[in-house]
Homo-oligomer: A and B are copies of this chain.
Amino acid sequence: MVTNHQVLFNKVQPTGLPKPGETTTRGSAGLDIDNVALNGGVLTRNIAVSLDPTMRNRMKGDIGYFTPAYVVGKPVTAIGIAEVVRSEVDDFKSGDIVFVWSLGIEEYTLHPKEATAGFRKMDPTALSSGLSITTFLGAAGMPGMTAYMSIKEIIGDLKAGNKMFVSGAAGAVGQLVVQLCHQAGVKVIASAGSDEKCDFVRSLGADETINYKTENLPAKLKAFAADTGIHYYYDNVGGEQLEAYINVAARYGIIVACGYISGYNAEKPEDVVYPKNLFNIVTKELKYQGFIVSSFLPKWYGKFMEEVPKMLAEGKIKNREDVTFGVYGAEDAFLRLFTGENQGKVAVLIDTERAERWNLGKQMQGAKVWK
């Protein structure tokens, strides 16, 4: 018997910041890992999970979101990586490392057979390429795919000399967007929530940065737009920054609508800011397009895995991580996503005992670590 530590969803919370201990709570349950009945499914030992802002919307009850709301009393789920302990599914055997779209934030998960349709077996070659396993939750994982595939699909080929505004630029997705644009010869202006984050984003290749908490964002955007306007906007935040972009958009500007984090934790619906200049969508001939990365996987997954892990291994792309140790740490780590205390891609390392096995020691160099 082992004790399976878990972070459980505890209370539907439509507004405000998530509250560790209230929105979510710590739980544990005894588990006989050798003998528990699998009923045709799979038992995994969970290695790490990715915490993403969009999870906040699954804590609001049924809001018509395509990803289902969390269930009170059950573990919060997230994108994660796990090792198969026992399996009654032919495709998976003990020792396989699997990428899981919906993994409980807990040490062990029992997956019914139908849930394993969402597993993707990880390539042992990639795992031994020198990248840490949490990188496959960051730049080589969902946020990396998000940045890469949405640019390919919504913008197409980036045009050298064009200008891009990236909000939330120090975050998991933003940092890769900045680098992909910089490499393509696009001029980048990036916003983030502290001077330190702005320094980091400049180190990735941003030409100009805006600390949106202390600087005049519309004025800096306008100066950067100069007489050409800004051709692209990678929107992680919505609200005032979206409105400011629309005012300085170039004709035929493209808005990649990745998230709307400015509205996720509003205390009241009327606190969420929406742009009051949408008529410009018509007159400037803008395209404003949203997406969920899973829609792009069938078309782009192969090309992504061919290109991006290699660029990471060669140091051509940086991936700043913010790693929290231990399953219970997920509660505070999730809150930090919204207070801005995180530094880069937020992951929770669940299997801390065997961390070294997946290059985590190496990864920790340069990562912000919370123990």
Interface check A365, CB cutoff 8 A: no
The answer to the question of A274 belonging to the interface, with a C-beta cut-off of 8 Å to chain B, is yes
Given contacts A286-B290, A287-B287, contact A257 B281 (CB under 8 A): yes
A231 to chain B, nearest CB (A): 15
A278 and B66 CA atoms in complex are apart in Å by 15
Closest B residue to A242 by CB, please name it.
B278
Whether A274 contacts B275 in the complex (CB less than 8 A), given A259-B282, A283-B65, A289-B287, comes out as: yes
Contact indicator B238/A283 (Cβ below 8 Å): no
Contact in complex: B291, A289 (CB < 8 Å): no
Could you tell me how many residues of chain A have their Cβ less than 8 Å away from some Cβ of chain B? 34
List 8 other contacts, CB 8 Å, given A65-B283, A282-B291, A285-B290. Answer: A64-B280, A260-B278, A275-B278, A280-B290, A281-B288, A282-B290, A282-B292, A287-B290
Asked if A8 is an interface residue, CB under 8 A from chain B, the answer is no
Contact B284 A66 (CB under 8 A): yes
In the complex, whether A310 has a CB less than 8 A from a CB of chain B is: no
Which residue from B66, B263, B281 sits with its C-beta under 8 Å from A290? B281
Q: How far is the CA of A59 from the CA of B21 in the complex (A)?
A: 58
Q: How far is the CA of A66 from the CA of B278 in the complex (A)?
A: 15
Residues on B with C-beta less than 8 A from A242 are: 278
A285 to B272 Cα, complex, angstroms: 20
Q: Is A276 an interface residue (CB 8 A)?
A: yes
Interface residues of A (CB under 8 A from B): 57, 64-66, 238, 242, 251-252, 257-260, 263, 269, 272, 274-276, 278-292, 295
The chain B residue sitting closest to A262, CB to CB, is B279
Could you write out 11 A-B pairs with CB less than 8 Å apart?
A: A66-B251, A252-B295, A258-B282, A272-B276, A274-B275, A281-B289, A281-B290, A282-B291, A282-B292, A285-B291, A287-B288
Q: A290 contacts B283, CB within 8 Å?
A: yes
Contact B295 A290 (CB under 8 A): no
Q: Distance (Å) between the CB of A232 and the closest chain B CB?
A: 14
CB contacts (< 8 Å) of A252 on chain B: these are 295
Cα distance, A279 to B269, chains bound together (Å): 12
Cα A263 to Cα B279 with chains together (Å): 8
